[in-house]
Each structure stands twice: as structure tokens, then as C-alpha cells.
Amino acid sequence: MDPLRLASAGLGFRRELIPALKTHVPVAIDFFEIAPENWIDLGGTAGRDLRSFTERYPFVCHGLSLSIGSPAPLDEVLLHKIRRFLDQHRILFYTEHLAYCSDDGHLYDLLPIPFTEEAVKYVAARVRRAQNILERRIALENASFYLRAPITEMSEAEFIRAVLSEADCDLHLDVNNVYVNSINHAYDPIEFIRSMPTERIVYMHIAGHHNEAKNLIIDTHGAEVIDPVWELLDQTYRIHGVAPTLLERDFNIPPLDELMREVEHIHLIQTRHVDASHVRAAS
């Protein structure tokens, strides 16, 4: 499968949307995203439906349960299954959260890794092993979190950069997670975005969230994207350039036509920056 175009917009491939997508895939959708854990070894109608789309449209995979920062052993059985799944469907990108969600069992939440040099070395070694098994580079997503790990030697941004460098992997930049963490932990989201390495960004996420309290946002992917997050995406393109960007909507999923307004809004922001770059190049 060819790489994604820089100015492209995607949508999470949810089973609730399959009937509408079978009827018509809107032209604004350039690519889809799935969690491989939800589709591996799945046969029957659902498996045939997926195959019918992966044969015609670009897909990316965003994992849920690799738990790259976990103290438990790396799940190499899962990684081998993911590699076969990626090969089977000719999927180029596989990304995971820079967090952990398991120890003796799955914890059903993303928990922050301590921002320490020891953790950098530990996580990077696991990423390198994962890349060897998958036989391709992976990208790590900056995760939202609500409590800081008890031991901290560096900032979140410094930790992310250190892991990416040590592991020699890429970045899946979640703009909504930056906004959520900037409110919950009181930092400047623009400065965080500016500190990310442009050359490692493979694609971006944007999503909605829930305001639990004045200084507490919960990253739900269950609501429309709010204006400050759209503005942060605009600033992100200004800093790093346009990149493939996907709308996450995992709960309270509205009809496809309603989701398309947000996918089309991604295109609108991308077009402004592409047009502006053409004007600068011509002047």
C-alpha cells in the first residue's frame, strides 16, 4: 500500500458505520483506521466486510493492548499476529500508545510511564523488539493521562523525544491528547507541539472529549471536536506542516453524514495551509 498523502483526512472504521459505508464511501475519507485486536482472527461477515474495504482503501492500524511500558513481558504472540494481519491487509502503519495498560492482566485504561532515563531505556528496548518482530517501523502516540507517575526526571515532551530517539521509531501525534493534558496538567499546548520532532510524525489524531470539571478533561472520543482543538490543529500544521489526520469517534457515534462535517473540516484546515505554502513558494 502506498504511503498516505500529507493532505489527507481519515475516519475510524467502526462496525456501526459499515452499512452506510457499503452504500457510499464519501470522497472526503482518504483512509481508515482500525484497532487490530478487534479484527485479528475475525471471520464471517465482519471479516469479509473488512477485506472488501482494505482491498480498496488505505488503512492504518492503531493498537490498544500492546502495553509498551508495562512491567510484564512484551506480548510477542500478539505481535506475530499483528504482523500477519498487517501483511494480509497490506497495511503500512502500525501505532501504539506510549503508555501501559497491563501487568498480570489488562487494566482497561492507559496509565502513564514514569518520565525517567531508566524508563526511556526500558521502553525503547521493547519498541526495538516490537519493530524486529513486525518487520517495520512503528509510531508511538502521546497519550492522555490524569495522574503523573510518582517518579519524574523530565517533562512529558522530553520523555517522548528521548524514547523516539532511543528506539528510532516514529510519532503518532494526537492533537486532542495534547489539549487534554495541557488543561489537566497546566502547560502550554503550543510549546508542547513545537517541541515535537517534525521528521518523525507519521499521522495525527483529532477527537472530542468530556469536560468533567474546570480543570479536568476526560479523553472520551465521544463528542464533537471543540473549537480550541481545531485551533490547535491549525497551529500544529503551521508549525510542522500538513500531515494525514484522522477523526476518532469511538462512542456516541452519530450517522456518517454528521461525522463527515468534521472530516471535511480537517480538509478545510489542510487546504488553507497547502494554499498558503503555494503562495509563499511563488512569491
Q: 1: pLDDT confidence band, cut at 50, 70 and 90?
A: low
The boundaries of the domain holding residue 65 are: 9-282
pLDDT band at 277 (very low <50, low <70, confident <90, very high): low
Q: How many residues does the chain have?
A: 283
Question: Quick check: is 1 in a domain?
Answer: no
Residue 217 lies in a domain: yes
- Does 281 score more than 50 pLDDT? no
Q: Tell me, yes or no, whether 29 lies in a domain.
A: yes
Nine-digit cell string for 127: 519498541
The CA distance from 207 to 202, in Å, is 17
Quick check: is 50 in a domain? yes
Amino acid at 213: A
200 in any annotated domain: yes
Chain segment 6-49, per-residue pLDDT in tens = 999 999 999 999 999 999 999 999 999 999 999 998 888 888 99
Stretch (H or E) spanning 210: strand 210-213
Q: What is the count of structural domains for the chain?
A: 1
The verdict on residue 2 lying in a domain is: no
- Kindly report the number of other CB atoms within 10 A of residue 244's CB atom: 23
Rounded Cα–Cα distance for residues 167 and 120 (Å):
9
224 lies in some domain: yes
pTM, rounded to two decimals: 0.93
> Which grid coordinates are listed for 184?
489537566
Residue 3 lies in a domain: no
pLDDT, one tens digit per residue, over 162-220 is 999 999 999 999 999 999 999 998 999 999 999 999 999 999 999 987 676 677 787 77
* CATH code where residue 140 lies: 3.20.20.150
Residue with cell 501505532: 95
Q: Enter the DSSP assignment of 73.
A: P
Q: pLDDT (tens digit, 9 = 90+) per residue, 85-124?
A: 999 999 989 999 998 774 554 444 567 789 999 999 999 9
